[in-house]
Amino acid sequence: MSKERITAGEARSIMILFIMGSTMIMGAGGQAHTDAWLAILMATGMSVPIVLISARLLALYPGQNLYDICLQVFGKLAGRVCILLYVWYAIHLAALVLRNYGEFMESEAMPETPMLVPMLFVAALCIFVVLHGIETLGRSARLMFNVCMITIIVVLSLTLERMDFENILPVLDYGWGPIWKGAFSAFSFPFAETFLLTAIFGGVKDGKSYVRILLYGLLIGSGLVLFITFRNLFILGNYTMSNVYFPSYAAVGRVNVGDFIQRIEGTVAIVFVICVFTKISACLLAASYGIAKLFGLHSYRTVVIQTGLLVTYLAYSLYDNIMEMLHFASEVYFFYAFPFQVIIPILLLIGAEIKVRRGNRANAG
């Protein structure tokens, strides 16, 4: 485990920006239509046990990360298989988020620029930060979270005139089926993805407060996602939201205050880039930690550049078009991510509790 350490506030900022990630511009729980806010609330409640599992594992094995815990609980062979699985998941998740960013830039911000160009720039920035360690990422996240909050508040003040609060009515117009589907989708993307942060949060200075750090991070992050969902619904309404790929960008693009405040959707792009940068960096750091642990390397930094380039290549080759990306995110991702987000964490917790209790009994004897 690296000796690099971050404060509780920095860990919480990383988690909040990690949750916001692609969700800030792609939305969450869209299958529920006007009841997306209900789906997000349900998904938040479903994610609390996953966050508590992360906190419990980190508390049981202080100073160790997810990969150390896998080896401790499952043994050398099964533990290495578990590490390999989470290394793949971290790389794939980073590639998915980077592709979200690439599709956004190609379809909305820079349509004349090849998708690979902005993706390479973001990947290079993430590689640079990860090479400097989690301490740099933590300080950056703390600063950029404040920038995001100021931007969100300013944009809110400018969009109030465009809001129609009746757009969320009638509640339950489509029944419970779409709400449950949206809740499970929002659970897997983005809330339950936070379990991956167990791989990089082993070095939090105030490690005794893991429950408070992770639970507050989840609640604040989900609150911001819920806020953005309400804003988009109030501005766009259900019909328009169902016909745009990036509802946040479309919603803010409608703001026009007089003849001098126009085209402020660039502010949404700024927040989106900050959140994407943080999430990809966290995933890249987690993947590099795992590769170093898997092969017994002295430092994870020796594989950061190669892993970052692999993420970029994978992101570029994942889909043929944006429709494939959206189909995977809404229809397939929940089933794909379920073992990483639910099954393995539960098995890890059960194994860890048994190991710790046996160790305590042996010491007491």
Residue 288 has pLDDT above 80, yes or no: yes
Residues 161-190 have a mean pLDDT of 90
For 65-84, write each residue's pLDDT tens digit: 999 999 999 999 999 999 99
Interatomic CA distance for residues 308 and 310, integer angstroms: 5
pLDDT of residue 208: 65
Closest CA to 340 of 138, 217, 187: 187
Residues 251-267 have a mean pLDDT of 69
Residues 205-214 have a mean pLDDT of 82
Interatomic CA distance for residues 49 and 223, integer angstroms: 17
Which H helix or E strand runs over 40? helix 36-60
Residues 223-243 have a mean pLDDT of 83
Interatomic CA distance for residues 234 and 200, integer angstroms: 37
Residues 248-259 have a mean pLDDT of 75
Which H helix or E strand runs over 4? none
Mean pLDDT of the chain: 90
Could you tell me what percent of the chain has a pLDDT over 70? 95
The pLDDT-based confidence of 1 (bands split at 50, 70, 90) is very low
pLDDT of residue 12: 95
Residues 280-308 have a mean pLDDT of 96
The pLDDT-based confidence of 241 (bands split at 50, 70, 90) is low
Q: Which of 200-209, 240-249, 324-333 has the lowest mean pLDDT?
A: 240-249
DSSP state of 169: P
Give the length of the chain. Answer: 365
Residue 45 has pLDDT above 80, yes or no: yes
Interatomic CA distance for residues 226 and 213, integer angstroms: 20
pLDDT of residue 260: 59
Output phi, psi for 62, to 5 deg: -60, 140
Encoded tokens for 355: 């190991």
Question: Are 313 and 49 in contact, with CB atoms under 8 Å apart?
Answer: no
Q: Is 257 helix (H, G, I), strand (E, B) or coil?
A: strand
Identify residue 190 by its one-letter amino acid code: P
Residue 359 has pLDDT above 80, yes or no: no
